């Protein structure tokens, strides 16, 4: 090799110790017409000579007639002395210092091991080592510092990583972080007594305007690498994602976040996000859905079963029947197949109420009521009550409107008691009824507790000493009399004011397209009129302190 240094022949064990070697190693030596391998034992916990490595080295020097068993025995028998073992019957030419290396499977590391020259052989230097690597197309990541470290203090039969490629940095797939429960399912709550509450299923993902719905974490493509042969190493392909969404959603400028534009609810269908202010129940409102409480509209494709409740700030639309259930709406209520309340049905809304029929229920609205029949129910409307269609029937119960009741038939030929009230605010009328009912109750409380006060006061006046519990009873009765008296006075005054408001209102109209049967009671403001005989095709209006029946 051009430019290499002459080897320093390792003459004896003493010189080896000066070298400060650690791992066991070997060296070819020629003398007396034969070729030997000199075996150096490991020092200071170094690694013993590996027989396979030794055999591979000899074969690389074209020495094949050695006795591997003798070599193995010699290696196993090494202690502190250097041992010579014959490996060829003839003399060979001087061997140079040798480097043997392996490239890792991923082509990112080159590990070299070095073997000493024999007497007269040449030493490696940095240039010769690099040249040997390049002859094998290893051109990238060569570690000259490690090479120099070996040349500065040669350690044989020791692994040196003399080249290192640059591994590629694998990136990450894009992914979407959802800020709502994408797996939310109706789940009944377990109560303390061990029973299950099928009403509060908490199955709706409510959202408010400007709520963050999802964040797109963009893909990281990673970085390319380079192996020791100088070839580029590509990172694995990464998956891209995009935010998919429907109406009522806005996207951030960088298209990595989406927000709700309305109050409503959010759902994930496949990989697409939807926000709506209408909550759809595809079947019935029952134990599978629980009660519905929603900021927006509710659309029920089936029925609302007995015992369940819908509360919505918007409209409620029911395609089926409302049974003995409750509905509260901030908008209008439409019940396409009617209310079969079973004396439990209750509907309250801020806008119009439309139903096929209303039976055995209580309904209240600040708008109008439009229906084909009201049967044995209590119906209160700030607007008109329009009972039309084929039947146009109001029978049994009580119907109140601030402005007008328009119907075909009132009562029945069986004399069913039916009240029709117009000309006053139904809430005011209802308040009057409550106060009128409350006043006798308060008077009874006053009378009952006053008897207790009078009894104990009389005993005290006679000089009797009352036990502590009796004195406590007296004190409680006195407080009850005072509180009930104050409430009675306030309620009586409020009732008088409300009655004056009702009396002052002469507006209101009842229009009958067919017949009013006996048993119907008509109230316009505070004037009452009892239908004694069947009355057909008429209008009923207030005229002073009377109600006049006019032609339709």
Residue 447 Rama label (left phi>0; alpha psi -120 to 50; beta): alpha
In this prediction, residue 5 has a pLDDT band, given cuts at 50, 70 and 90, of: very low
Identify the domain containing residue 120 by its residue range: 5-164
Does the pLDDT of residue 10 top 70, yes or no? Answer: no
Q: What's the chain's average pLDDT?
A: 89
Q: Are residues 142 and 33 in the same domain?
A: yes
Q: Are residues 49 and 120 in the same domain?
A: yes
In this prediction, residue 430 has a pLDDT band, given cuts at 50, 70 and 90, of: confident
Q: What's the whole-number mean pLDDT along residues 318-327? A: 96
Q: What's the whole-number mean pLDDT along residues 334-339? A: 95
Q: Do the domain assignments include residue 396?
A: no
Q: Are residues 132 and 177 in the same domain?
A: no
In this structure, of 190-204, 384-398, 479-493, the range with the lowest mean pLDDT score is: 190-204
Using CA atoms, how far apart are residues 539 and 552, in angstroms rounded to an integer? 5
DSSP characters over 211-237: -EEEEEE--EEEE-EE-TTS-EEPPPP
Using CA atoms, how far apart are residues 416 and 414, in angstroms rounded to an integer? 6
Q: Are residues 132 and 184 in the same domain?
A: no
Q: What's the whole-number mean pLDDT along residues 362-378? A: 95
Q: Do the domain assignments include residue 320?
A: no
Q: Are residues 34 and 65 in the same domain?
A: yes
Does the pLDDT of residue 1 top 60, yes or no? Answer: no
The total of structural domains in the chain comes to 3
Using CA atoms, how far apart are residues 364 and 400, in angstroms rounded to an integer? 9
Task: Show Cβ contacts of residue 117 under 8 Å, excluding neighbours closer than 6 positions.
Answer: 7, 27, 94, 95, 96, 97, 98, 123
457: enclosing H helix or E strand: helix 426-461
Task: Specify whether the CB–CB gap between 348 and 366 falls below 8 A.
Answer: no
Does the pLDDT of residue 7 top 50, yes or no? Answer: no
Using CA atoms, how far apart are residues 243 and 275, in angstroms rounded to an integer? 14
Select from 134, 149, 164 the last residue of a domain. Answer: 164
Q: Do the domain assignments include residue 355?
A: no
In this prediction, residue 468 has a pLDDT band, given cuts at 50, 70 and 90, of: confident
Q: Are residues 137 and 17 in the same domain?
A: yes
In this prediction, residue 186 has a pLDDT band, given cuts at 50, 70 and 90, of: low
Q: What is the pLDDT of residue 348?
A: 97
Q: What is the pLDDT of residue 118?
A: 93
SS3 of residue 1 by DSSP: coil
- Taking CA 392 as the corner, what is the angle to CA 387 and CA 393, rounded to the nearest 5 degrees? 100
Closest CA to 510 of 544, 475, 479, 547: 547
Whether the full predicted model's pTM is greater than 0.85, yes or no, is no
In this structure, of 142-151, 158-167, 177-186, the range with the lowest mean pLDDT score is: 177-186
Using CA atoms, how far apart are residues 334 and 298, in angstroms rounded to an integer? 11
3-state secondary structure 476-522: HHHHHHHHHHHHHHHHHHHHHHHHHHHHHCCCCEEEEEEEECCCEEE
Task: Specify whether the CB–CB gap between 393 and 411 falls below 8 A.
Answer: no
Task: Specify whether the CB–CB gap between 94 and 118 falls below 8 A.
Answer: yes
Q: What's the whole-number mean pLDDT along residues 273-298? A: 90
DSSP strands (E only) in 158-314 = 159-164, 169-172, 175-178, 189-190, 196-197, 206-207, 212-217, 220-223, 225-226, 232-233, 244-245, 249-251, 257-260, 264-269, 272-276, 278-281, 292-294, 297-300, 309-312
Q: What is the pLDDT of residue 255?
A: 94
Using CA atoms, how far apart are residues 236 and 233, in angstroms rounded to an integer? 9
Whole-angstrom Cα Rg for the chain: 51
SS3 of residue 39 by DSSP: strand
Select from 252, 276, 300 the last residue of a domain. Answer: 276
Q: What's the whole-number mean pLDDT along residues 361-379? A: 95
Using CA atoms, how far apart are residues 124 and 96, in angstroms rounded to an integer? 8
Using CA atoms, how far apart are residues 123 and 117, in angstroms rounded to an integer? 7
In this prediction, residue 11 has a pLDDT band, given cuts at 50, 70 and 90, of: very low
Q: Are residues 52 and 154 in the same domain?
A: yes
Q: What's the whole-number mean pLDDT along residues 186-194? A: 58
- φ and ψ at residue 162, rounded to 5 degrees: -105, 0
Q: Are residues 159 and 184 in the same domain?
A: no
Q: Are residues 10 and 147 in the same domain?
A: yes
Q: Do the domain assignments include residue 385?
A: no
Q: What is the pLDDT of residue 14?
A: 35
Closest CA to 353 of 381, 372, 311: 381
410: enclosing H helix or E strand: strand 404-410
From first CA to last CA, the distance across the chain in angstroms is: 129
Q: What's the whole-number mean pLDDT along residues 441-460? A: 90
In this prediction, residue 525 has a pLDDT band, given cuts at 50, 70 and 90, of: confident
In terms of average pLDDT, the best of 93-107, 177-191, 501-515 is 93-107
Q: Are residues 156 and 197 in the same domain?
A: no
pLDDT for 218-277, tens place per residue?
Answer: 999 999 999 999 999 999 999 999 999 999 999 999 999 999 999 888 989 889 999 988
Percent of the chain exceeding pLDDT 90 equals 70
Q: What is the pLDDT of residue 501?
A: 67
Q: What is the pLDDT of residue 191?
A: 61
Q: Are residues 24 and 103 in the same domain?
A: yes
Select from 214, 245, 276 the last residue of a domain. Answer: 276
Q: Are residues 146 and 229 in the same domain?
A: no
Q: What's the whole-number mean pLDDT along residues 7-18? A: 39
Q: What's the whole-number mean pLDDT along residues 322-334? A: 96
Q: Do the domain assignments include residue 183?
A: yes
């Amino acid at each position: 090799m051009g430019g290499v240094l002459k080897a320093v022949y390792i003459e004896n064990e003493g010189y080896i110790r000066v070298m400060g070697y650690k791992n066991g190693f070997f060296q070819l030596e020629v003398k007396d017409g034969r070729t030997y391998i000199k075996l150096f034992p490991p020092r200071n916990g170094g690694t013993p000579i590996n027989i396979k490595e030794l055999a591979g080295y000899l074969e690389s020097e074209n020495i094949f007639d050695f006795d591997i068993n003798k070599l193995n025995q010699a290696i196993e028998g090494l202690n502190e002395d250097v041992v010579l073992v014959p490996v060829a019957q003839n003399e060979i030419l001087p061997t140079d210092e040798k480097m043997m290396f392996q490239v890792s499977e991923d082509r990112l590391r080159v590990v070299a091991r070095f073997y000493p020259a024999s007497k007269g052989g040449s030493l490696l230097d940095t240039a010769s080592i690099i040249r040997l690597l390049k002859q094998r197309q290893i051109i990238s990541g060569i570690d000259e510092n490690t090479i120099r470290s070996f040349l500065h203090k040669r350690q044989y039969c020791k692994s040196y990583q003399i080249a290192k490629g640059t591994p590629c940095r694998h990136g990450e797939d894009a992914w979407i972080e959802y800020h709502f429960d994408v797996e939310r399912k109706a789940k009944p709550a377990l109560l303390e007594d061990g029973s299950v509450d099928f009403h509060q299923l908490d199955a709706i993902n409510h959202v408010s305007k400007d709520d963050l719905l999802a964040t797109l974490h963009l893909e990281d493509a990673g970085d390319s690498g380079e192996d020791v042969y100088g070839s580029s190493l590509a990172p694995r392909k990464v998956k891209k994602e995009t935010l998919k969404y429907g109406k009522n959603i806005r996207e951030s400028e960088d298209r990595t976040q989406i927000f709700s534009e309305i109050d409503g609810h959010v759902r994930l269908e496949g990989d697409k996000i939807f926000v709506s202010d209408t909550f759809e129940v595809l079947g019935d409102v029952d134990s599978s859905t629980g009660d519905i409480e929603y900021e927006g509209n509710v659309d029920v494709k089936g029925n609302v079963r007995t015992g369940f409740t819908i509360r919505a700030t918007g409209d409620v639309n029911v395609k089926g029947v409302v049974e003995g259930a409750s509905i509260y709406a901030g908008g209008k209520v439409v019940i396409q197949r009617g209310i079969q309340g079973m004396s439990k049905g209750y509907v309250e809304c801020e806008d119009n109420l439309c139903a096929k029929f209303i039976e055995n229920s209580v309904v209240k609205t600040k708008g109008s009521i439009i229906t084909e029949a009201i049967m044995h129910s209590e119906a209160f409307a700030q607007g008109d009550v329009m009972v039309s269609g084929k039947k146009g029937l109001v029978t049994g119960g009580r119907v109140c409107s601030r402005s007008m009741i328009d119907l075909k038939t009132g009562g029945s030929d069986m004399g069913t008691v039916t009240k029709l009230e117009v000309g006053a605010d139904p809430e005011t009328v209802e308040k009057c009824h409550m106060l009128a009912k409350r006043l006798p109750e308060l008077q009874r409380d006053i009378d009952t507790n006053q008897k207790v006060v009078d009894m104990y006061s009389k005993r005290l006046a006679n000089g009797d000493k009352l036990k502590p519990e009796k004195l406590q009873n007296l004190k409680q009765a006195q407080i009850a009399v005072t509180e009930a008296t104050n409430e009675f006075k306030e309620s009586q005054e409020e009732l008088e004011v409300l009655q004056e408001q009702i009396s002052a209102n002469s507006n209101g109209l009842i229009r009958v397209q067919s017949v009013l049967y006996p048993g119907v009671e008509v109230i316009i403001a505070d004037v009452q009129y009892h239908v004694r005989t069947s009355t057909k095709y008429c209008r009923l209006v207030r005229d002073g302190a009377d109600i006049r029946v006019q032609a339709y």
